[in-house]
Amino acid sequence: MRTLDGKVVWVTGAGTGIGEAAARLLALAGMTVVLSGRRVEPLEAAAAAIRETGGRAEAMALDVVDRGAVFEAAAAIGRTHGRIDMLFANAGINLTPRNWSDAIDDPGVLDGWDAVIDANVKGVYNGVAAVLPAMRRQADGLIAVTSSWAGRFHSKVAGVAYGASKHAVMSLSAQVNMQEGANGIRSCAICPGEVATPILERRPVKLTSDELEKVIQPEDIAEAVLFVARMHPRTSVHEILVAPTQMRAALT
Protein backbone atom coordinates (compact mmCIF):
# COMPACT_ATOMS: atom_id res chain seq x y z
CA MET A 1 0.00 0.00 0.00
CA ARG A 2 1.29 3.46 -0.85
CA THR A 3 2.65 6.02 1.56
CA LEU A 4 0.56 9.13 2.15
CA ASP A 5 3.42 11.36 3.30
CA GLY A 6 3.26 14.73 1.57
CA LYS A 7 -0.13 14.10 -0.01
CA VAL A 8 -2.93 16.68 0.27
CA VAL A 9 -6.51 15.81 1.17
CA TRP A 10 -9.58 18.06 1.29
CA VAL A 11 -12.30 16.87 3.69
CA THR A 12 -15.76 18.46 3.58
CA GLY A 13 -18.10 18.25 6.55
CA ALA A 14 -14.95 17.97 8.65
CA GLY A 15 -16.01 19.74 11.83
CA THR A 16 -17.65 16.73 13.49
CA GLY A 17 -18.43 13.06 13.05
CA ILE A 18 -17.02 11.04 10.18
CA GLY A 19 -15.28 13.98 8.54
CA GLU A 20 -13.44 15.01 11.68
CA ALA A 21 -12.43 11.43 12.49
CA ALA A 22 -11.17 10.86 8.94
CA ALA A 23 -9.23 14.12 8.96
CA ARG A 24 -7.45 13.07 12.16
CA LEU A 25 -6.54 9.64 10.84
CA LEU A 26 -5.38 10.88 7.43
CA ALA A 27 -3.21 13.50 9.12
CA LEU A 28 -1.65 10.82 11.33
CA ALA A 29 -0.85 8.91 8.14
CA GLY A 30 1.15 11.89 6.88
CA MET A 31 -1.34 13.82 4.76
CA THR A 32 -1.80 17.57 4.82
CA VAL A 33 -5.48 17.99 5.65
CA VAL A 34 -7.74 20.86 4.61
CA LEU A 35 -10.90 20.76 6.72
CA SER A 36 -14.00 22.54 5.47
CA GLY A 37 -17.53 22.97 6.76
CA ARG A 38 -20.16 25.60 7.40
CA ARG A 39 -19.17 26.39 10.99
CA VAL A 40 -15.67 27.71 11.54
CA GLU A 41 -15.42 27.01 15.29
CA PRO A 42 -15.46 23.18 15.18
CA LEU A 43 -13.20 23.26 12.12
CA GLU A 44 -10.61 25.37 13.92
CA ALA A 45 -10.81 23.11 16.97
CA ALA A 46 -10.35 19.97 14.85
CA ALA A 47 -7.43 21.49 12.93
CA ALA A 48 -5.77 22.64 16.15
CA ALA A 49 -6.10 19.16 17.65
CA ILE A 50 -4.40 17.68 14.59
CA ARG A 51 -1.56 20.20 14.76
CA GLU A 52 -1.06 19.46 18.45
CA THR A 53 -0.22 15.87 17.53
CA GLY A 54 2.28 16.98 14.91
CA GLY A 55 -0.03 16.83 11.90
CA ARG A 56 -0.54 19.42 9.19
CA ALA A 57 -4.05 20.85 9.05
CA GLU A 58 -5.89 24.02 8.14
CA ALA A 59 -9.52 25.08 8.39
CA MET A 60 -11.64 26.64 5.68
CA ALA A 61 -15.25 27.70 6.33
CA LEU A 62 -17.33 26.68 3.33
CA ASP A 63 -20.86 25.75 2.28
CA VAL A 64 -20.59 23.06 -0.41
CA VAL A 65 -23.83 24.31 -1.98
CA ASP A 66 -22.08 27.57 -2.91
CA ARG A 67 -20.50 26.50 -6.20
CA GLY A 68 -18.37 29.61 -6.62
CA ALA A 69 -16.96 29.24 -3.12
CA VAL A 70 -16.22 25.54 -3.72
CA PHE A 71 -14.27 26.27 -6.90
CA GLU A 72 -12.38 29.06 -5.18
CA ALA A 73 -11.55 26.75 -2.28
CA ALA A 74 -10.11 24.17 -4.69
CA ALA A 75 -8.09 26.89 -6.42
CA ALA A 76 -6.80 28.14 -3.07
CA ILE A 77 -5.68 24.65 -2.06
CA GLY A 78 -3.89 24.32 -5.38
CA ARG A 79 -2.15 27.66 -4.97
CA THR A 80 -1.04 26.90 -1.42
CA HIS A 81 -0.06 23.25 -1.75
CA GLY A 82 0.50 22.78 -5.47
CA ARG A 83 -1.71 19.70 -5.66
CA ILE A 84 -4.91 17.99 -4.50
CA ASP A 85 -4.43 14.26 -4.10
CA MET A 86 -7.73 13.36 -2.48
CA LEU A 87 -11.20 14.76 -1.90
CA PHE A 88 -13.33 13.23 0.83
CA ALA A 89 -16.78 14.58 -0.04
CA ASN A 90 -18.42 13.90 3.29
CA ALA A 91 -20.69 16.91 3.90
CA GLY A 92 -24.37 16.04 4.11
CA ILE A 93 -27.58 16.72 5.98
CA ASN A 94 -30.97 15.21 6.80
CA LEU A 95 -34.13 16.59 8.38
CA THR A 96 -36.61 15.27 10.91
CA PRO A 97 -39.70 15.59 8.61
CA ARG A 98 -38.67 12.97 6.05
CA ASN A 99 -41.73 10.91 5.13
CA TRP A 100 -44.44 11.44 2.52
CA SER A 101 -46.97 11.95 5.31
CA ASP A 102 -44.92 14.91 6.55
CA ALA A 103 -45.09 16.52 3.10
CA ILE A 104 -48.83 15.92 2.90
CA ASP A 105 -49.39 17.55 6.29
CA ASP A 106 -47.12 20.50 5.42
CA PRO A 107 -46.06 21.07 1.79
CA GLY A 108 -43.43 23.47 3.14
CA VAL A 109 -41.48 20.37 4.15
CA LEU A 110 -40.52 20.05 0.48
CA ASP A 111 -38.37 23.17 0.84
CA GLY A 112 -36.35 21.31 3.43
CA TRP A 113 -36.06 18.33 1.10
CA ASP A 114 -34.67 20.70 -1.54
CA ALA A 115 -31.98 21.67 0.95
CA VAL A 116 -31.11 17.99 1.52
CA ILE A 117 -30.76 17.43 -2.23
CA ASP A 118 -28.67 20.58 -2.59
CA ALA A 119 -26.23 19.62 0.15
CA ASN A 120 -26.03 15.88 -0.47
CA VAL A 121 -26.03 15.82 -4.28
CA LYS A 122 -25.04 19.24 -5.60
CA GLY A 123 -22.51 19.59 -2.81
CA VAL A 124 -20.80 16.41 -3.99
CA TYR A 125 -20.66 17.21 -7.68
CA ASN A 126 -19.55 20.78 -6.94
CA GLY A 127 -16.55 19.39 -5.08
CA VAL A 128 -15.78 16.71 -7.67
CA ALA A 129 -15.92 19.17 -10.56
CA ALA A 130 -13.69 21.58 -8.64
CA VAL A 131 -10.88 19.06 -8.01
CA LEU A 132 -10.90 17.16 -11.31
CA PRO A 133 -8.73 19.66 -13.25
CA ALA A 134 -5.91 19.38 -10.67
CA MET A 135 -6.22 15.61 -10.53
CA ARG A 136 -6.14 15.36 -14.32
CA ARG A 137 -2.95 17.42 -14.43
CA GLN A 138 -1.43 15.04 -11.88
CA ALA A 139 -2.81 12.01 -13.76
CA ASP A 140 -3.66 10.77 -10.28
CA GLY A 141 -6.39 11.44 -7.77
CA LEU A 142 -8.79 9.84 -5.33
CA ILE A 143 -12.33 10.85 -4.50
CA ALA A 144 -14.14 9.27 -1.58
CA VAL A 145 -17.79 10.12 -1.01
CA THR A 146 -19.94 9.42 2.00
CA SER A 147 -23.01 7.67 0.68
CA SER A 148 -25.10 5.50 2.98
CA TRP A 149 -26.67 2.10 3.52
CA ALA A 150 -29.70 4.03 2.28
CA GLY A 151 -27.84 4.74 -0.95
CA ARG A 152 -27.17 1.06 -1.63
CA PHE A 153 -30.57 -0.19 -0.51
CA HIS A 154 -33.94 1.40 0.27
CA SER A 155 -34.44 2.52 3.86
CA LYS A 156 -37.69 3.87 5.25
CA VAL A 157 -35.99 5.35 8.29
CA ALA A 158 -33.63 7.43 6.12
CA GLY A 159 -36.55 9.22 4.50
CA VAL A 160 -37.51 10.28 0.99
CA ALA A 161 -35.04 13.05 0.20
CA TYR A 162 -32.04 11.56 2.00
CA GLY A 163 -32.50 8.14 0.41
CA ALA A 164 -32.88 9.69 -3.03
CA SER A 165 -29.82 11.87 -2.49
CA LYS A 166 -27.61 8.98 -1.46
CA HIS A 167 -28.70 6.87 -4.43
CA ALA A 168 -27.67 9.82 -6.59
CA VAL A 169 -24.28 9.93 -4.85
CA MET A 170 -23.72 6.28 -5.78
CA SER A 171 -24.26 7.16 -9.42
CA LEU A 172 -22.01 10.22 -9.23
CA SER A 173 -19.19 8.12 -7.82
CA ALA A 174 -19.67 5.39 -10.44
CA GLN A 175 -19.55 8.00 -13.20
CA VAL A 176 -16.18 9.23 -11.93
CA ASN A 177 -14.79 5.72 -12.24
CA MET A 178 -16.27 5.19 -15.70
CA GLN A 179 -15.23 8.55 -17.13
CA GLU A 180 -12.05 9.47 -15.26
CA GLY A 181 -10.32 6.14 -14.67
CA ALA A 182 -8.35 6.66 -17.88
CA ASN A 183 -7.00 9.85 -16.27
CA GLY A 184 -5.79 7.98 -13.18
CA ILE A 185 -8.70 9.14 -11.03
CA ARG A 186 -10.61 6.75 -8.76
CA SER A 187 -13.76 7.13 -6.66
CA CYS A 188 -15.09 5.13 -3.73
CA ALA A 189 -18.62 5.39 -2.34
CA ILE A 190 -18.54 4.54 1.35
CA CYS A 191 -21.94 3.28 2.49
CA PRO A 192 -22.33 3.09 6.25
CA GLY A 193 -25.39 2.08 8.16
CA GLU A 194 -26.15 3.88 11.40
CA VAL A 195 -23.18 5.91 12.63
CA ALA A 196 -23.07 7.73 15.97
CA THR A 197 -22.83 11.24 14.52
CA PRO A 198 -24.89 14.42 15.01
CA ILE A 199 -27.09 13.54 12.00
CA LEU A 200 -28.80 10.88 14.14
CA GLU A 201 -30.12 13.70 16.32
CA ARG A 202 -32.46 14.54 13.42
CA ARG A 203 -34.17 11.15 13.66
CA PRO A 204 -37.91 11.33 14.46
CA VAL A 205 -37.24 8.58 17.02
CA LYS A 206 -33.92 9.08 18.80
CA LEU A 207 -31.57 6.21 19.59
CA THR A 208 -30.97 5.40 23.24
CA SER A 209 -27.49 5.70 24.73
CA ASP A 210 -27.23 1.90 24.68
CA GLU A 211 -28.19 1.78 21.01
CA LEU A 212 -25.66 4.51 20.18
CA GLU A 213 -22.88 2.45 21.70
CA LYS A 214 -23.74 -0.49 19.41
CA VAL A 215 -23.87 1.36 16.10
CA ILE A 216 -20.88 2.25 13.92
CA GLN A 217 -18.57 4.89 15.37
CA PRO A 218 -17.01 7.68 13.26
CA GLU A 219 -13.50 6.28 13.72
CA ASP A 220 -14.66 3.00 12.16
CA ILE A 221 -15.54 4.77 8.92
CA ALA A 222 -12.33 6.79 9.14
CA GLU A 223 -10.43 3.48 9.01
CA ALA A 224 -12.27 2.61 5.79
CA VAL A 225 -11.34 5.98 4.29
CA LEU A 226 -7.70 5.44 5.23
CA PHE A 227 -7.73 1.98 3.65
CA VAL A 228 -8.96 3.43 0.36
CA ALA A 229 -6.42 6.27 0.52
CA ARG A 230 -3.56 3.81 0.93
CA MET A 231 -4.65 1.58 -1.95
CA HIS A 232 -2.25 1.49 -4.89
CA PRO A 233 -3.41 3.88 -7.67
CA ARG A 234 -3.68 1.01 -10.13
CA THR A 235 -6.61 -0.35 -8.08
CA SER A 236 -10.00 1.29 -7.58
CA VAL A 237 -12.25 0.35 -4.67
CA HIS A 238 -15.67 1.30 -6.00
CA GLU A 239 -17.81 0.73 -2.90
CA ILE A 240 -17.47 -0.13 0.77
CA LEU A 241 -20.64 -1.27 2.56
CA VAL A 242 -20.52 -1.10 6.36
CA ALA A 243 -23.15 -2.05 8.94
CA PRO A 244 -23.28 -2.46 12.70
CA THR A 245 -22.60 -6.03 13.77
CA GLN A 246 -25.87 -5.94 15.72
CA MET A 247 -28.21 -4.91 12.93
CA ARG A 248 -31.33 -3.08 14.05
CA ALA A 249 -34.62 -3.56 12.26
CA ALA A 250 -34.78 0.23 11.87
CA LEU A 251 -31.88 0.05 9.41
CA THR A 252 -34.27 -1.23 6.78
* C-alpha dihedral (69, 226, 198, 194), degrees to nearest 10: 130
3-state secondary structure the chain: CCCCCCCEEEEECCCCHHHHHHHHHHHHCCCEEEEEECCHHHHHHHHHHHHHCCCEEEEEECCCCCHHHHHHHHHHHHHHHCCCCEEEECCCCCCCCCCHHHHHHCCCHHHHHHHHHHHHHHHHHHHHHHHHHHHHHHCCEEEEEECCHHHHCCCCCCCHHHHHHHHHHHHHHHHHHHHHHHHCEEEEEEEECCECCHHHHHCCCCCCHHHHHHCECHHHHHHHHHHHHHCCCCCCCCEEEECCCCCCHHHC
**Would residue 125 show up in a list of annotated catalytic residues for this protein?**
no
Chain-centroid distance, C-alpha 127: 11
Q: Which of 10, 113, 149, 162 is flagged as catalytic?
A: 162
> Which sequence positions are flagged as catalytic?
162
